[in-house]
Structure 1
Amino acid sequence: MRRFQNAFEEFIDGVGTASDKAAFRAVAERATQRLGFSYFAYLSLTEHSYTLISTYPKEWTTRYLNERYDLIDPVIIRARRDRDLFRWSGAQASSGRGNRVKRFFGEAAEFGIEKGVTIPIPAGFDRFAAFTFAAGRHGPDLDEKIADAKEVLQLMGMYFHARVETMLKQPVGLDSSSPLSQREAECLAWTSRGRTMDQIGQILGIKTRTIAFHLDSARARLGAENVAHAVALALRRGLIP
């Protein structure tokens, strides 16, 4: 477990200072190798655009995007539906499915992509994101990885997404009439997704007591009885995704 913790801490430090795609890719590639996987892939989709940062072979990612495999990929379909980390294998995911899905996994296997762990990331505003660690058939034991480091892997995916959103994308702005600051809205949004203050602090790169301050400030601004009430009010008023 200590090995996972060391990889996690190095990853958090690196992602926290990354400012472009190349830097994000280098940090995630290092963590991928330390965790015993062959590849990683971060994919964020909106209706009209996408962000892809990965170590998958370029030929494969080009084919994936050109063929719109995201529309038939069982891993992406499940990641859109689920919130919790899950393991997958091409052999299992293609079982009982049509020829196009079987061909898709067959093509992926040609590039050494046969199994992995995917972290779904609720992105809000009709957006979708997921972070995947992948390997070939003889890669690491996925059940063992999840048993040893499920929370670490989950936090890595969420933190990577949060930093990419901050550094590489135009933020989805709050309504100018919103009583909440950007940070207050972020803290409420992550709370609404079941994250603890410790987890939110790791995702946003700020101290737990600062999270508590922003949550209490948001509660006061919304006239809520407690944080749970503040989350409910913010969701009802469309102040958080």
Structure 2
Amino acid sequence: MADGESGDLGPLLKALEHVRDTAEAVDIAKRVGAIIGLPYPSCIADYSDPLLTRTRDGKTYAELFGWSVDFREDWERNRLNLISPIANVCRYSTKPFIWRSKDVVSMMPAASGAKQRQWHLTPERHIAGGITIPVHMPLGRVSSMGWVAREEVRPFEEVLARYSIELRLVALLFLESVFDQRSEVNVPAPAMTAGDTGLSEREVECLSWVALGKTDSEIATIIERSVPTVRFHLENAMKKLNVHNRTQAAALAAQAGILGPMVQ
């Protein structure tokens, strides 16, 4: 625990709720890490992006959090977002979880030997493990906030048991500040949102089957309509979503959460 810090995250949560700039948010994240005994914060705003999350002036949050250049370069150069077991948990869960570096190394995909050797959060690089909080943001973006330790001074299970709720709130508020900062500079507005598409129930139904790989004739059989009727609904959906083909329409509607889960 840092000097002058109590074990209460409440005041930091309040401060983060009214944060004014990136530097202030980063400082709060570091202070949270000092209190819980995992002093290295990390955040990924979008796991589909191979680049680290950046501030409005182009600096990475990883740099501001104190991660060395070799860690930062490894993530981007080796596209570790594609093979990270931590990222995979975040894609399928919303629950905070503990990971230890010795276990993560053993979880790396067996078929990616070269990639496995490039993984950076290893015991050899003096990483013990950490706690990660998945955060699912609008338009299908999978994000996370976490704190990492070079040695397990205090059992991670004990930390998570005490601070689980507060860490979830810190992660959400921090990532909201990240997206607020990004929205102010050179980030285009989304093409549409779930509430403004005007898609009919039948159009959504047809798009759902397109997303599952069905052809027009197969969809016609499933919904007991003619092929021209299916095409009519899909063409209407494409116009409303302002896209040029059925695949784009299905992808955009799925991203916006209109179609529901494609994987059960």
What is the aligned partner in structure 2 of residue 28 from structure 1?
Answer: 29
Q: How many residues align?
A: 181
SS at match of 1:161: helix
TM-score where L is the length of structure 2: 0.58
Moved more, 141-150 or 131-140: 131-140
What per-residue deviation string (whole Å, max 9, x for no partner) do you get for residues 12-59 of structure 1? 304622323x33222211221122112010111265665252322232
In the TM superposition, residue 88 of structure 1 has moved relative to its aligned partner by 0.6
Q: Which of 92, 112, 116 is the equivalent residue of 1:81?
A: 92
- Percent of matched pairs sharing the same residue: 17
CA distance, structure 2, for counterparts of residue 34 and residue 96 of structure 1: 29
Q: Say whether the 8 Å CA contact 1:116–1:142 is kept in structure 2.
A: yes
For the pair 1:37 / 2:38, whether they are aligned, the reply is yes
SS at match of 2:91: helix
Q: Say whether the 8 Å CA contact 1:45–1:127 is kept in structure 2.
A: yes
CA distance, structure 1, for counterparts of residue 119 and residue 47 of structure 2: 24
CA distance, structure 2, for counterparts of residue 109 and residue 8 of structure 1: 33
Q: Say whether the 8 Å CA contact 1:43–1:130 is kept in structure 2.
A: yes
Higher Cα Rg, which structure: 2
Q: Which of 139, 142, 157 is the equivalent residue of 1:125?
A: 139
1:127 alignment partner AA: R
1:175–1:154 CA distance, 2 compared to 1 (3 A): closer
Q: Say whether the 8 Å CA contact 1:12–1:159 is kept in structure 2.
A: no
What is the aligned partner in structure 1 of residue 70 from structure 2?
Answer: 59
SS at match of 2:45: strand
What is the aligned partner in structure 2 of residue 159 from structure 1?
Answer: 173
What is the aligned partner in structure 2 of residue 219 from structure 1?
Answer: none
Structure 1 portions without partners, runs of 5+: 180-233
1:17–1:117 CA distance, 2 compared to 1 (3 A): same
CA distance, structure 1, for counterparts of residue 107 and residue 84 of structure 2: 14
What per-residue deviation string (whole Å, max 9, x for no partner) do you get for residues 165-185 of structure 1? 123325755659849xxxxxx
1:111–1:150 CA distance, 2 compared to 1 (3 A): same
CA distance, structure 2, for counterparts of residue 46 and residue 75 of structure 1: 10
CA distance, structure 1, for counterparts of residue 135 and residue 143 of structure 2: 5
Q: Say whether the 8 Å CA contact 1:123–1:129 is kept in structure 2.
A: yes
What per-residue deviation string (whole Å, max 9, x for no partner) do you get for residues 160-208 of structure 1? 11122123325755659849xxxxxxxxxxxxxxxxxxxxxxxxxxxxx
What is the aligned partner in structure 1 of residue 20 from structure 2?
Answer: 18
What is the aligned partner in structure 2 of residue 147 from structure 1?
Answer: 161
Structure 2 portions without partners, runs of 5+: 55-60, 198-255
1:58–1:8 CA distance, 2 compared to 1 (3 A): farther
CA distance, structure 2, for counterparts of residue 12 and residue 112 of structure 1: 33
SS at match of 2:162: helix
CA distance, structure 2, for counterparts of residue 61 and residue 7 of structure 1: 28
Provide the aligned C-alpha RMSD in A: 3.2
1:47–1:69 CA distance, 2 compared to 1 (3 A): closer
